[in-house]
Structure 1
Amino acid sequence: MRLVNLVVKEGLSNQIIRNIPFNKSGLSLIVDETNSKESGSNIGKTTAVKVIDLCLGAQSASSLYKEKDTGENHIVKDFLEKNKVFAELTSVIDDKKYTFKRCLYKNGKSSINGEEVKNITEYREKLNNIIFKNANNKPTFRQLIAKFIRLENSNESSLLKYLGTYCKNYQYQAIYSYLYGIDTSKSKNVDILSLNEAIDKDIEAIFRKNGVGSLSEFEAKINLMKEEVNKFKKAYSEVTVIEEYKDKTQEIDDILTKINKLEGIYAKGKLKVDLMKEKIKREQEKIFSVDHKLLKKLYNETKIYIDKPLMDFKELEQFHNGMVNKRIGMLKESLKELSDDLKKVEGELNNLRIEYEANYVEFNIEIKDKFEEKYNEFSINKIKLENFMNDYNYIELKQKEKKDNLSKKVEENSDDEEKEDIKKILNKYFKVLTDEIIGEPFAILLNENDDEFPIKIIGMNGKPGTGIKKAMITCFDLAHINLIINKGYHMPVFEIHDKLENIDLKELNNIIRETRKFTGQYIFPILNDRIDQLGIKDEEIVLRLSTTDKFFRI
């Protein structure tokens, strides 16, 4: 794919704002003609590159008038909207012309060779098929085309990681393998690797949440938790296994034994008292209580029949009752002794019962509190164990899913001879360009492991330092274009760089000299005061801009 020209028009009047023809090969320069006393900012150098990028599927036309730091340029925005401005980028692909139209105002339609497309997604997919013959859209069009249009400041990071650091190593592997023609099958496996990466992040988050670093650590933690839970179950079913309660239990048992013994003694004493009371009652019933007059009459009458007179009955009554009362007195003394002993036993028994009750209640409260505490701990551990098991099973499931995903990977290209040939050709161009432009030859190393970044740049003194020169990007990208031309890949053979106008004059002079021999197209902006210093030819300039002639002429 070679660029033919870029036309920017007002849609309402069909008036041409810009018609920029590109040289078929070599240099196509955008010149900033502001003098040293004027500012070259906002005249449209970057705008020209952004419009080309929009025609090649960049996301939004708002990039033409909106900046992160300065906000919106309402003059440009209103002009584009009011006049329905659009851009058409014409290119040649396989000897056939293609015109990619992109509207530069909100909700404008895009088309390819006059055929309208529904949305930006469809537009990009069609471009991917036309420009790269990449019908399955893997890698995506924007992942590929961004290598040929660099809009950001040149730095070490964007030299190799031109899509930024958010793009993963395995994605860069697939993209560079595709761009260099090494292996197009890698791109077919990107989705699988992406799925597995998401699974790995998920697993890592679960490991971190549970304070482990691997499945084996997780298993060990689960086993420890199981032991704790089982230990509590046993302690709960056998109270006596809790050491601090053994002595307390024995103390309560001893009190109960004493109570049982005293209750026996008390029962016997109570029985003796009751029996003694009964005996006294029977003795009291033996006391006489008679009518002495009647007894005397009976006595007088009996004298008639009895030869010997009977003892005086009153004396007899007194004697009998005296003997009975004497026995009752003795029995009452015995009853008092028994009652006093019984009261003593009852007092001891009551004290023991109070002591037992206090100890029993306290013991049960303590044991209840202790078991509530233990049960809470058990419940927490049980819940933790359940959560651990759920997370563990989930990780096992996800690891199986990862394995299943990997089984679906397509077999990658194993043509080692072709790979080696590509590396040699790429390095041949790169070494020459770095030697001629930077003054030191560098080599490109290609890594093919998914977990490594695919490219390293190494010089005779090691890899380039953090102060790498901007010219390295030119060498890196133009070597790629030379590889594309050499191998006949179905890819763009142009390179567009922005922000190179302040490059070191010596290196810029070397770039101009080398790219005049370049069979591809190299487009970038340059300051007017360097035109004479570098011997730039008029035919190498495709667009001149100034404060009085900005890109949109407003």
Structure 2
Amino acid sequence: MYIKNLRLINEKKDSVIRDVEFHSGVNFIVDANNSKKHNKVGKTTFLKLIDIALGAKDKKYLYFDSETNSSNKKFEEYIKKNKISVELTLTKDEKLTEKDKNNFILYVGLYPNSKRLIDGVRFNYKEYNEKLNEIFFENENNIPTFRELVHSFVRISLKKDDDSFLKNIPRTSNQVYRSIYNYLFNIADPVTNESISSLNKKLKDIKTSLKSFQEINGISSVSESEQILSTLKNDSTIVKSKLNDILSRTEFEKNRKKINEIRSEYTRIIDKIADVKFNITQIEENIRVEKKAAFLPVNNNLYVKFFDEINRLIPDINKTFDDLIKFNAQLNGNKIEYYNNLKNDLTKELTVLESEKNRLLNNNRSFIALIEDNKIDEYEELSKKLVDIENNITTQRTELKTLVEYKKQIEKIQKQIGNLKQQTEKIDYEKNVNLFNEYFRKYANQINGEHPLLTYNPDADAFPLSIRSLDSGTSTGTRKSLIAAYDLAYQKFAEKINKSIPNFIIHDVLENIEGENLKSIINIANLNRTQYIVAILKEKLDSSDISSKEQKKLTLLSLSQDKMLFND
């Protein structure tokens, strides 16, 4: 598929700003300024317009400089205000002469919320690139994606010029690169590589989830969890044994309410018996004191003083001193009698309580030992401990089951990846790589006398391609030539194996390439009928001794301060 035409359209004015007709072979976008102020006339922007028409998502990179993190506000407003769009016409005709047959017209608005059209039909971004994959690569499976593939043909703002140019997609896995290059070199089914990439991502996600699960639950492995579970089971057995030594757990659970009732009644009786016995002891002490007092000699002086005091206060009292002595003796006897009566009542109550206790003991002998030895509290404590252990066992079993499931998933995915890798390792890649190297080495030698070799690594985890130079001490210009040799060799290789690809190479800046090398690149591109679309300075063309006539033939678009890209 070739590029036939590019038009810049001002939708607001309904006018065409620029209409550029491409030709086969080399297409130079020339900066014709005769000064040191280059890169301001729009040659790189022109290449970016092609890239946007070819599905580049971020349109703002037309006016945004990522290196300086700044935006050309004037240019940005111009695009938005005038609703600028780009129209790119594609054709399968290498002579670029057919009018309609096998042509495709791509139309993309450069302003926010604008439309993307292919032959007048509107597509969303995803559908647009899927359609481009069919048009350029006949890749209906969309594996790899169009944007993953087209980076090998559109090299704008290339940061490095050594063999790292093969890594042309930022932050992409080796599996994606393997899918891309296996597809481009017809080495393996890209679906297999896509499957490996997808499985690796799934494996990574599962391992991340497993790590979080382990950190949250404080466990490191299935083995550790199994050991914890074994210890908990052993603890459970020990506690159950202790419970059974006190009372059968089944019996206890069955009669828990009755045991608690007996315990409550037994405690009440025991406490009451203790109180009665204490009271009897106190009464017996009082009786002893009163009996002792009865035999003590009378202190007549004390009684005389007391009697005289009463007579003074109550002169009419009709009692003698002897009456007072008799009354005091009688009072002492009454106290002893009262205490004896009280003791008799308490003794009777004690007898009744002892009878109640004996009856309770006789009727509940199977449980009473538990109560008398105060083992109910111990039993309850052990029961609670057993519940905690059993809950912990349940939790640990759940955690272990989850760990085992994680392990099974990981092993299953690893096995699937291993099987797919074995399939890729059995692929015969040498035939196509050798065919490519025929052209690669030939073109590299024609361009600058180098003898590079493209090698393929069948290891599914490694980056698939490398370039080994059989020479040393190459300069920057030589490495630029290497990229050109690679791109031109691939075009010839794809033609040989009849692979549908973009029949163009878009490259920004070839200033470092030596004049003779540039001439060789031009000759190879023209002979191969490959569109080699490159931004270049006129000064470079002049210094390379390319004639004015030849320059005119090769120039697609000449830009300068007086004739800038968006002058309308």
TM bracket (short chain): 0.5 to 0.7
Match of 1:230 among 230, 233, 250: 233
Query: How far off is 1:211 after superposition?
Result: 7.5
**Separation in 2, partners of 1:525, 1:533:** 16
**Aligned AA (1:36):** S
CA 1:192–1:100 in 2, change beyond 3 Å: closer, same or farther? same
Would the aligned equivalents of 2:63 and 2:76 in 1 still touch at CA under 8 Å? Answer: yes
CA 1:543–1:385 in 2, change beyond 3 Å: closer, same or farther? same
Which residue in the other structure is 1:125 paired with? 130
**Separation in 2, partners of 1:203, 1:157:** 35
**Separation in 1, partners of 2:58, 2:208:** 35
1:179 aligns with 2:179: no
**Separation in 2, partners of 1:410, 1:90:** 41
CA 1:426–1:20 in 2, change beyond 3 Å: closer, same or farther? same
1:335-393, Cα deviation, whole Å (9 max, x unpaired) = xxxxxxxxxxxxxxxxxxxxxxxxx99xx99xx9x999x99997998688457414413
Which residue in the other structure is 1:288 paired with? none
CA 1:375–1:413 in 2, change beyond 3 Å: closer, same or farther? closer
Which residue in the other structure is 1:163 paired with? 169
1:550 aligns with 2:559: no
Query: How far off is 1:90 after superposition?
Result: 1.5
Which residue in the other structure is 2:148 paired with? 143
Which residue in the other structure is 2:115 paired with? 109
Query: How far off is 1:502 after superposition?
Result: 4.2
Match of 1:54 among 37, 52, 55: 52
1:111-142, Cα deviation, whole Å (9 max, x unpaired) = 222x2223122211211112211112121111
What secondary structure does 1:111 align onto?
strand
Would the aligned equivalents of 1:225 and 1:381 in 2 still touch at CA under 8 Å? Answer: no
- Over the aligned positions, Cα root-mean-square deviation in angstroms equals 4.4
**Which sits farther off after the overlay, 48-57 or 527-536?**
527-536
CA 1:463–1:408 in 2, change beyond 3 Å: closer, same or farther? farther
**Separation in 1, partners of 2:75, 2:450:** 44
What secondary structure does 2:221 align onto?
helix
CA 1:210–1:503 in 2, change beyond 3 Å: closer, same or farther? farther
What secondary structure does 1:469 align onto?
helix
CA 1:409–1:423 in 2, change beyond 3 Å: closer, same or farther? closer
**Aligned AA (1:173):** R
Would the aligned equivalents of 2:8 and 2:18 in 1 still touch at CA under 8 Å? Answer: yes
Which residue in the other structure is 2:361 paired with? none
**Separation in 2, partners of 1:472, 1:377:** 72
Query: How far off is 1:541 after superposition?
Result: 1.1
1:420-439, Cα deviation, whole Å (9 max, x unpaired) = 44222200111122223343
Which residue in the other structure is 2:97 paired with? none
1:433-492, Cα deviation, whole Å (9 max, x unpaired) = 222334320111123342222212112269999998233222222211111122221111
1:136-195, Cα deviation, whole Å (9 max, x unpaired) = 21211111112110113241475111123x222222222112112333x2x223443233
Would the aligned equivalents of 1:3 and 1:90 in 2 still touch at CA under 8 Å? Answer: yes
**Larger Rg computed on CA atoms:** 1
TM-score normalized by structure 2? 0.64
Identity fraction in percent: 27
Pairs within 5 Å for 1:325-344: none
CA 1:379–1:495 in 2, change beyond 3 Å: closer, same or farther? farther
1:199 aligns with 2:202: yes
What secondary structure does 1:91 align onto?
strand
What secondary structure does 1:470 align onto?
helix
Query: How far off is 1:204 after superposition?
Result: 2.8
CA 1:416–1:395 in 2, change beyond 3 Å: closer, same or farther? closer
Which residue in the other structure is 1:71 paired with? 70
**Separation in 1, partners of 2:33, 2:391:** 74
**Separation in 1, partners of 2:406, 2:152:** 38
**Separation in 1, partners of 2:150, 2:55:** 9
Q: Structure 1: any 5+ residue segments left out of the alignment? A: 241-273, 282-359
Query: How far off is 1:209 after superposition?
Result: 4.8
Q: Structure 2: any 5+ residue segments left out of the alignment? A: 94-100, 244-283, 292-372
Query: How far off is 1:7 after superposition?
Result: 1.4
TM-score normalized by structure 1? 0.66
Query: How far off is 1:523 after superposition?
Result: 1.1
Which residue in the other structure is 1:432 paired with? 442
Query: How far off is 1:10 after superposition?
Result: 1.6
**Separation in 1, partners of 2:399, 2:520:** 64
How many aligned residue pairs are there? 427
